[in-house]
């Protein structure tokens, strides 16, 4: 229910209206929120606002755009390399720099958001998206590859804000019955954004590079290469429009917090930033969740952007077909993740069992895919595309189903620590997987034969299973909700 006249103008508005008191000798801030009188004249401590759906929409749009910009070049990588004559390791460099940037800026972003509020964090994030696309608009006409890398870095580091903040937005604006679904929608929006360029890239650019074009790139006409460059510029214009739209949406309305918390656990307060960091770091169960999630997810999402170069070379699939495979599997996988999360709202205390089942399914699917690429399983040529679609779609469902469950389980385990801390550490760890994965491209033999990527993804997912078995579930935040009475 939303009261008339309770609009928020920014973080300072709320801070001035809050009476903060910190118990002596305690690291937990006890916050007395502004009271409002209901029709019965009683104070209400918790309230759910209809505007939460706008907040969710703006945040999902920002995370979607960040994911799309991060994966702009990989689906059209062959067209980029052919038309500009850049080295094949260039794509891995763009992705690697983005991952390093996220790891370096994750804590500064988290501290900024915790101390200055969500609004400032989202304004900075969307501004960086605009800055990144501006660098691309300069780099392509001038053929300055280093500017393309800088633009990719600027767009990539925004994940420092979007992934860290999803659980904060969820717990701040949504009741317990909607939190897992809201977290899933926000985290999956980024992955949907990663999938969309598989379609928009080839179709906006008009590029349909084949294995023949890659092999005979030096024999292609100057006119053909120029048409590829014009198409790539159109892709950048499209990306720029999305970045500007996100900035406008945030500036229009995105407050730092609601007037009142949406759930009981928010009224109990959170430990301060540095105390929260110590608590999270010293919680063994959190590290088991962190390692589990990143072994499952880290290698997979380093591999997905390179579907085109992987399947084109090993199975002879065209760039357009691999684009559709990447798009379809990502969209269906993310949509199913939201559905899984909606169901898990009713079975929150069964998260570990679901994660184990999804992980085992992912390992088996990757093993089958790897055997097909190696030639251990020989398929008729007219079955290859359909088999790739089926395997990649079900694999995406398994991997994406794990993501929101791990983020929420990490926050439950470390409560009452600030949710942004656990999310930040998970995000940093996830982005450290990227440089490790892409660093293997420096080995000439591995850069020439990319089938190892499938086996590496399967191997890391398999390694997560022992950590899953050791992990003990804790639902500290959920216990507060179930035992508290308003």
The residue-averaged pLDDT of 241-251 equals: 96
Q: Is 345 helix (H, G, I), strand (E, B) or coil?
A: coil
Render pLDDT for 103-144 as a digit per residue (tens, 0 to 9): 778 778 878 887 888 899 899 999 999 999 999 999 888 888
Render pLDDT for 158-170 as a digit per residue (tens, 0 to 9): 887 777 777 788 8
pLDDT of residue 245: 96
What rounded mean pLDDT belongs to the chain? 78
- Distance in angstroms (rounded) separating the CA atoms of residues 273 and 420: 9
The residue-averaged pLDDT of 47-51 equals: 84
The residue-averaged pLDDT of 416-423 equals: 77
CB 181 within 8 A of CB 348: no
Take residue 208 and report the two structure tokens written for it. 């349909």
Architecture of domain 52-479: Up-down Bundle (1.20)
Q: Is 172 helix (H, G, I), strand (E, B) or coil?
A: helix
Which DSSP state fits 349? G
Domain ranges of the chain: 52-479
Q: pTM score > 0.85 for this model?
A: no
How many other CB atoms are found less than 10 A from the CB of residue 145?
18
Render pLDDT for 59-107 as a digit per residue (tens, 0 to 9): 999 999 998 998 888 778 777 778 787 766 777 778 777 777 777 787 7
Which of 21-25, 159-163, 369-373, 450-454 has the least mean pLDDT? 21-25
| Alpha-carbon distances of 374 from 257, 438, 450, 469, rounded to whole Å | 52, 21, 11, 31
DSSP, residue by residue, 399-437: HHHHHHHHHHHHHHHHTTS-HHHHHHHHHHHHHHHHHHH
Contacts (Cβ under 8 Å, ≥6 apart) of 361: 394, 398
Take residue 288 and report the two structure tokens written for it. 């088991």
Which of 72-76, 203-207, 241-245, 314-318 has the least mean pLDDT? 314-318
């Amino acid at each position: 229910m939303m009261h008339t006249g309770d609009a928020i103008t920014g973080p300072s508005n709320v801070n001035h209206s809050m009476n903060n008191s910190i118990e002596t000798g305690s690291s937990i801030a006890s916050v007395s929120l502004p009271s409002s009188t209901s029709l019965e004249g009683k104070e209400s401590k918790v309230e759910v606002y209809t505007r939460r759906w706008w907040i969710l929409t703006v945040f999902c749009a920002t995370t979607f755009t960040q994911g799309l910009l991060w994966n702009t070049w990989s689906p059209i990588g062959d067209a980029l390399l052919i038309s500009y004559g850049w080295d094949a390791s260039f794509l891995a460099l763009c992705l690697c720099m983005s991952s390093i940037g996220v790891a370096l800026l994750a804590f500064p972003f988290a501290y900024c958001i915790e101390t200055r509020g969500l609004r400032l964090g989202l304004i900075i994030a969307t501004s960086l998206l605009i800055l990144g696309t501006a660098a691309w608009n300069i780099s392509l006409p001038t053929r300055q590859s280093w500017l393309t890398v800088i633009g990719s870095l600027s767009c990539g580091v925004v994940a420092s804000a979007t992934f860290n903040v999803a659980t904060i937005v969820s717990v701040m604006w949504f009741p317990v019955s909607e939190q897992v679904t809201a977290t899933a929608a926000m985290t999956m929006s980024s992955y949907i954004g990663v999938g969309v360029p598989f379609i928009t890239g080839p179709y906006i650019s008009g590029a349909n590079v084949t294995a023949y074009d890659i092999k005979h790139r030096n024999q292609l006409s100057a006119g053909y290469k120029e048409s590829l460059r014009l198409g790539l510029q159109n892709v950048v214009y499209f990306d720029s429009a999305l970045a500007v739209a996100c900035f406008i949406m945030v500036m229009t309305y995105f407050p730092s917090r609601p007037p009142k918390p949406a759930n009981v656990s928010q009224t109990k307060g959170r430990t301060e930033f540095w105390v929260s960091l110590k608590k999270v770091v010293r919680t063994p169960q959190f590290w088991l969740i962190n390692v589990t999630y990143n072994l499952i997810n880290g290698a997979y999402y380093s591999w997905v952007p390179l579907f085109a170069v992987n399947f084109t070379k090993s199975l002879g699939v065209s760039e357009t077909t691999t684009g559709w495979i990447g798009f379809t599997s990502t969209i269906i996988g993310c949509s199913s993740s939201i559905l899984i999360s909606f169901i898990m709202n009713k079975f929150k205390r069964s998260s570990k069992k679901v994660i184990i089942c999804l992980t085992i399914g992912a390992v088996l699917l990757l093993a089958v895919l790897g055997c097909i690429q190696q030639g251990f399983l020989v398929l008729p040529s007219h079955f290859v595309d359909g088999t790739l679609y089926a395997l990649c779609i079900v694999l995406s469902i398994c991997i994406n189903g794990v993501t929101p469950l791990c983020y929420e389980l990490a926050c439950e385990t470390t409560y009452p620590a600030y949710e942004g801390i656990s999310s930040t550490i998970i995000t940093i760890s996830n982005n450290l997987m990227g440089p490790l994965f892409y660093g293997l491209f420096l080995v000439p033999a591995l850069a020439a034969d990319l089938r190892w990527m499938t086996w590496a993804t399967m191997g890391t997912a398999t390694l997560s299973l022992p950590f899953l078995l050791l992990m003990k579930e804790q639902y500290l935040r959920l216990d507060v909700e179930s035992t508290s009475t308003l």
